[in-house]
Amino acid sequence: MADTEKMKQTQQKELDEMNLIIAKTEEEQNQADVKALELHYQNMLGEVEKTLRGRRLNKVAVRSLTESINALENEGMFAAM
């Protein structure tokens, strides 16, 4: 009977150790997944920022071109159709 109880305790201890190892492995995997997601979203954010900068530059270019056309029209050198 004492042997059975000792085996039960040993098995429970091994089970607890395995559960700790599994939990640690899952935590490490979760951390790796979080890091991968952070990198992915940082790259996406960089692309969004690049797009927004491009749009701002386009707006500035359009505004500048419009102002140049208006100036030429006012000087009578250019007639827009």
Question: In this predicted structure, what is the pLDDT of residue 80?
Answer: 53
Question: In this predicted structure, what is the pLDDT of residue 48?
Answer: 94
Instruction: Quote the CA–CA distance of 16 and 73 in Å, as a whole number.
Output: 84
Identify residue 12 by its one-letter amino acid code: Q
What is the token pair recorded at 32?
Answer: 């790796």
Rg (CA), the chain: 34
> What's this model's pTM, rounded to 2 decimal places?
0.54
What is the token pair recorded at 57?
Answer: 């530059």
8 A C-beta contact, residue 69 and residue 80? yes
Provide block-wise average pLDDT over 10 residues at a time, the chain (81 residues). Answer: 88 95 95 95 95 90 91 74 53
